[in-house]
Amino acid sequence: MMRRRPVVLLLALLALTACWTALLIRGSAFTLAEADQVLTAVPAALALTLLTGRAGQVSLAQAALLALGGFCAGIIGGFWNVPFIVVLILAMIVGGAAGLVASLPAFRLGGFYLALSTLTLYYVVYYALQSLQNAGPEQLTGYGVPSAVVGIALTSEADWYVALTVIVALCVIVLARMFRSDIGRAWSAISHNELAASITGIEISKYKMAAFAISSAFVSLSGVLSAYQIGRVTIDQYTLGMAITYYAMIVIGGIGSITGAIVGATLVTLLPYWTANIAGLLPQQMPLARSLSDNIGYTSDLVVSLITIGVLVVAPQGLVGLGTALIRRMRNAKIGDSAILDACQQMAERVKGRA
């Protein structure tokens, strides 16, 4: 098993590189724009994987943290013309500080009550940034953000695709190493049994604060990337529903899995476009087709909700966990049509038993 793993990882890396190169060379501007949106969402989904999937904490303040990152890009990068790297670092510091504030209720609360307490941060940040925007010269249009990153002007979707891929790859490497370190093991211990973790000498409060601070910094990083990629930031972009959207990403992909966060971010980000394409294929004489086309935003939200519920019922471990379980089952059995059929039948029986 251990000898095969490097080969499998190498083949997966080669496949991803081939897909990335093909999309860069053959992809249209619209396709690359969709890919850029996926890449800007991945750091925030990874942050939730850290906070909820590994540390077992809950937060509904994602929109506030994204807004902090976006407004740092708009004010510091756009209005004051500060370089991108400085903006990125400052935004992560601001987001981390906000995460520390959000972590304070975690010492006393947990679960549903902790989630409600983090809503306070969202409303405070939203009101503060809304007042700041309304007091400025661009009340309706928001703040413009330059298109230069590390001194290089990114003028096309392909340029952004390359730059965002590099940044997201660095985020994945940093978090993967962090999950395998002592702090990652401490988060896992706290998530499984907080009392047992404290008995073994783990400082619960310190690691909870670290989880909130680090995850919040990565969410703010995602806000910066999104603002730079779009080119403008306004407070109306950051609604409370974004928190539910990002939790849907990690639930669909697989809570606690880096791969699951990437898969979930991809599916949830692209679902509105896929829903619009499907609605466009339906005959427009049908009332349902017109209703879907006219309310595509609500329709895509409904589809995401149904998929999330379906995943929770059929595969609580997420799509990545479901795929891993199927592959493991087939690998342990004799590979053949009968073995694959038996594995599928057993999965179907498990679904019926849960229903």
Angstrom distance (rounded) from CA 179 to CA 176? 5
**For residue range 257-297, what is the model confidence (pLDDT) as tens digits?**
898 899 999 999 998 888 878 777 777 666 666 676 667 77
Residue-level pLDDT at 265: 92
Provide mean pLDDT across the span 82-92. 91
**Is 50 exceeded by the pLDDT of residue 342?**
yes
**Is 70 exceeded by the pLDDT of residue 160?**
yes
Residue-level pLDDT at 80: 86
**Is 60 exceeded by the pLDDT of residue 79?**
yes
**Is 50 exceeded by the pLDDT of residue 248?**
yes
Kindly provide the residue ranges of all beta strands, DSSP E only, lying in 197-243, ordered along the sequence. 232-233
Percentage with pLDDT > 90 across the chain:
32
**For residue range 200-238, what is the model confidence (pLDDT) as tens digits?**
888 888 898 999 999 999 999 999 999 998 888 999 999
**Is 60 exceeded by the pLDDT of residue 3?**
no
Q: Of 22-26, 34-38, 138-142, 194-198, which range is least confident?
A: 22-26
Residue-level pLDDT at 81: 85
Q: Of 4-8, 73-77, 151-155, 179-183, which range is least confident?
A: 4-8
* Residues facing residue 233 across a β-bridge: 143
**Is 50 exceeded by the pLDDT of residue 1?**
no
Confidence of residue 44 (pLDDT cuts 50, 70, 90): very high
Provide mean pLDDT across the span 328-351. 62
**Is 90 exceeded by the pLDDT of residue 251?**
yes
Provide mean pLDDT across the span 40-57. 92
**Is 50 exceeded by the pLDDT of residue 2?**
no
The alpha helices in 231-316, defined as continuous H runs, are 241-253, 258-281, 287-294, 296-314
Identify whether the C-beta of residue 37 lies closer than 8 Å to the C-beta of residue 230: no
**Is 90 exceeded by the pLDDT of residue 153?**
no
Provide mean pLDDT across the span 19-44. 79
**Is 70 exceeded by the pLDDT of residue 355?**
no
Highest mean pLDDT among 66-70, 141-145, 190-194: 66-70
Provide mean pLDDT across the span 68-72. 94
HEC readout, the chain? CCCHHHHHHHHHHHHHHHHHHHHHHHCCHHHHHHHHHHHHHHHHHHHHHHHHHHCCCCCCCHHHHHHHHHHHHHHHHHHCCCCHHHHHHHHHHHHHHHHHHHHHHHHCCCCHHHHHHHHHHHHHHHHHHHHHHHHCCCCCCCEECCCEECCEECCCHHHHHHHHHHHHHHHHHHHHHHHCCHHHHHHHHHHHCHHHHHHCCCCHHHHHHHHHHHHHHHHHHHHHHHHHHHCEECHHHCCCHHHHHHHHHHHHHCCCCHHHHHHHHHHHHHHHHHHHHHHHHCCCCCHHHHHHHHCHHHHHHHHHHHHHHHHHHHCCCHHHHHHHHHHHHHHHCCCCHHHHHHHHHHHHHHHHHHC
Confidence of residue 322 (pLDDT cuts 50, 70, 90): confident
Residue-level pLDDT at 78: 83
**Is 50 exceeded by the pLDDT of residue 179?**
yes
**More confident position, 13 or 28:** 28
Q: Quote the mean pLDDT of the chain.
A: 82
Q: Of 27-41, 55-69, 234-248, 253-267, which range is least confident?
A: 27-41
**Is 80 exceeded by the pLDDT of residue 71?**
yes
* Contacting residues for 39 by C-beta, under 8 A, at least 6 apart: 161, 164, 165, 167, 168, 225
Residue-level pLDDT at 49: 94
* Dihedral pair phi/psi, residue 233, rounded to 5°: -135, 135
**For residue range 94-118, what is the model confidence (pLDDT) as tens digits?**
999 999 888 887 777 777 777 888 8
Residue-level pLDDT at 20: 63
Which two three-digit tokens encode residue 104?
A: 């304070």
